[in-house]
Amino acid sequence: MRTVLGLGATFFVCAAIGYVISPGVSNTGFADAGAVLAFVSLAAVTIERIIEGIFAALASRLGEWWPFSLAKDEFDRFETETNGLLKDVVKKTIEELEAAKAAGDKTADELTRIDNAIASITADQKRLAERYKEVTTKLAPGSARMARVGEINTEITNQLKTIHETSGRFVKEAQGMIAAATETADRASMILSSFQDNPARRIASLVLGTSFGMVVAGAAGLNLFVATLVTAAGDKSSLPTILAGTAGVLLTGIVIGLGSAPTHEVVKSLQAYRDGRTAPDEVKTVPTTTASESMLVAGGHLEVLGGAQGGGRPVVVRQIRRTS
């Protein structure tokens, strides 16, 4: 909850800062629309890299699943159960085997089987415990560490089950312990495997990115909508008129904060919107006696598209709009 409140406060504070520092006229410090779009792309990439760096630093201390508490709790539970297998279940198994051996009512074959089981599980426990310690001390909590701990869990579980199958009547309590530990570990593993990424981290990245983006857009006076939708001739649709002020600057910051790929897609969509509102070429048919001559009309140049010289035959021409 504190993380959610902190992210929300960050967003609104940055929005207020962007609003206050936003200039009255946007894009004034840039040569043209191309320079604005280039700066927008650069800002989007920079913020994206900064956010990745922040979470990489946090992951080294708080784990890859921070701030997703559900996954973190299940990860901790999985490690706890694996550690319990290596210590408590192995210890109980050896104790019960030693007790069965000391009972004095076993055949020579049974005693040999018990000795072999004790030696085997003792060696495996020592080897896997050392690996577990190395993994949990050198790797930060995350997918890589989860995979390594999972390998250890599977190996010690299989070894214990093998011993319990061959010496089952000597290790009744240990069998119950391994069943409970395995069930809990399997549940935690199943929950973790259902997540391909960290949804809480994704949301936090978006909130932080859009927050930083609004400050950058406000400081630079960036307005993506004016830069994209206003044509060189000054013609513009109603959208940049609506978003010509501070609202457009803040919205530009939000787009920047979404990341480089979403920013690129928004620019493409705005350009398609602008092109869709541009009037198509005007086609006219006029009579003429010379198809090869060029004719000037109000608003543009008439390009000859067909017809033949002489005879007063009609010629189809297209009016070409002036774009600069």
| CA angle centred on 162, ends 156 and 165, rounded to 5° | 140
Question: Is this prediction's pTM over 0.85?
Answer: no
In a 3-state reduction of DSSP, which class is residue 63?
coil
pLDDT string in tens for the chain (324-residue length) = 677 788 889 999 999 999 999 887 888 888 888 899 999 999 999 999 998 888 877 776 666 666 666 667 778 888 888 898 899 989 988 888 888 888 777 778 888 888 888 899 999 999 999 999 999 888 877 777 888 888 898 898 888 888 877 776 777 788 788 888 878 777 777 766 666 566 777 888 899 999 999 999 999 999 988 888 876 555 555 666 677 788 889 999 999 999 889 899 998 888 887 777 665 555 555 555 544 444 444 444 444 445 444 444 454 444 444 443
- The pLDDT value given to residue 251: 92
Q: Give φ, ψ of 320 to 5 degrees.
A: -95, 125
End-to-end CA distance of the chain: 55
In a 3-state reduction of DSSP, which class is residue 65?
coil
90: left (phi over 0), alpha (psi -120 to 50) or beta: alpha
Tokens of 186: 């399997």
CA 324 – CA 321 distance, rounded (Å): 9
Three-state secondary structure readout of 176-190: HHHHHHHHHHHHHHH
In angstroms, the Cα distances linking 206 to 5, 199, 211, 218 are 15, 11, 8, 18
Rounding to the nearest 10 degrees, give the CA dihedral for residues 22, 25, 30, 32: 140
